[in-house]
Structure 1
């Protein structure tokens, strides 16, 4: 597993690097600050990002949010700051595991495994939400197209739906794509 270390503190990160190497992780070259995080994540393709900070800055949180939007990865953050509001902000920026009060090498692998599991769970929920939103959008288009067919061609709802299905099968398209075309044509014809 490839790990990207980000050291956003003045202290050396050697102990963390050694613990990761001892646990069998492939540790990528260290990044000195979070300001180039997205670029480094896109180029290095780590499996997990570990950030060591005294207290996450606004810039760090912004960079994490950008990374989370464009190249999401599990993120473990070690920090000395246990402020409740800060923890909410950190989690909102995409951090999957926030650890306060230092690092014990024996705890490192379980922390990374929890971060990976939480990230996978969140990704699955996000994917499912996207699917449901797509289905709702498609349903809305189909209903709108049925309404147009009912209005313009005097069809019943069942007849309009059957006409949409028949057209979809004939053209080898999804029902929502046929509905989109009918709506576009209705807009074009006025």
Structure 2
């Protein structure tokens, strides 16, 4: 899914609701305690990836903190679904720091990882960095969407302009002036006017 610009503008500067998933009771209790002292609202805990996805669907956290090794569905599988279907960034809790793990994390849409056991300072910094990476990702994605829209609009305008040139036997600049005039008088974008020209043989 791709968020709109309005969705991006509504994103907070920092995550507030964090989903926690880890099948080790002592680990998850420690992580939740640290998150509470940092002021986060906690969703969970979950014992496996399937439970994490169900809670994401129900409560829509800002971010998910997942252990990589869990029964039924591991953290990496859950991360792929949580990010690609719900557009929620994931931070992985792991004992692994090798290159293979890092490559797989990036492919799954994971924006950060923390080596266990993580201290309060490491947890705070890791979540902050991951959230910034996520915001940068959304920014870049929005720019790509805007660029595609501008290119599509330009194609429409060019097509409409040449329709007018042929229909009225006028020059290209004159056709563009007609489009601009119609845009001003109708208070619509030039692209909207161009679409109407393409769809209607009578307009302009």
TM-score normalized by the length of structure 2:
0.78
- Cross-structure match for 1:161: 176
Cα distance between partner residues in 1 of 2:40 and 2:110? 20
Cα contact 2:67–2:75 (8 A) shared by 1:
no
Matches within 5 A, 1:20-59: 20-35=35-50, 37-54=52-69
Structure 2 gaps of 5+ residues are 1-15
- Cross-structure match for 1:125: 140
Cα distance between partner residues in 1 of 2:101 and 2:70? 9
Cα distance between partner residues in 2 of 1:182 and 1:38? 47
The alignment's C-alpha RMSD in Å is 2.7
How many residues align? The count is 186
Query: Mean alpha-carbon deviation: is it higher for 155-164 or for 89-98?
Result: 89-98
Cα contact 2:20–2:66 (8 A) shared by 1:
yes
- Cross-structure match for 2:155: 140
Cα distance between partner residues in 2 of 1:167 and 1:38? 50
Cα contact 1:52–1:77 (8 A) shared by 2:
yes
Cα distance between partner residues in 1 of 2:72 and 2:200? 52
- Cross-structure match for 2:8: none
Cα distance between partner residues in 1 of 2:71 and 2:187? 52
- Cross-structure match for 2:103: 88
Deviation readout 1:77-121 (Å, 9 max, x if unpaired): 112233424422322322111234542233111111111111111
Pair 140,60 (structure 1): closer, same or farther in 2 beyond 3 Å:
farther
> Secondary structure, in 3 states, of the residue corresponding to 2:39?
coil
Pair 69,172 (structure 1): closer, same or farther in 2 beyond 3 Å:
farther
TM-score normalized by the length of structure 1:
0.83
> Secondary structure, in 3 states, of the residue corresponding to 1:164?
helix
> Secondary structure, in 3 states, of the residue corresponding to 1:103?
coil
Deviation readout 1:24-54 (Å, 9 max, x if unpaired): 2221222232235455224313222111123
Question: Which of 11, 14, 34 pairs up with 2:29?
Answer: 14
Cα distance between partner residues in 1 of 2:123 and 2:75? 22
Q: Indicate yes or no: 2:172 matched with 1:170.
A: no
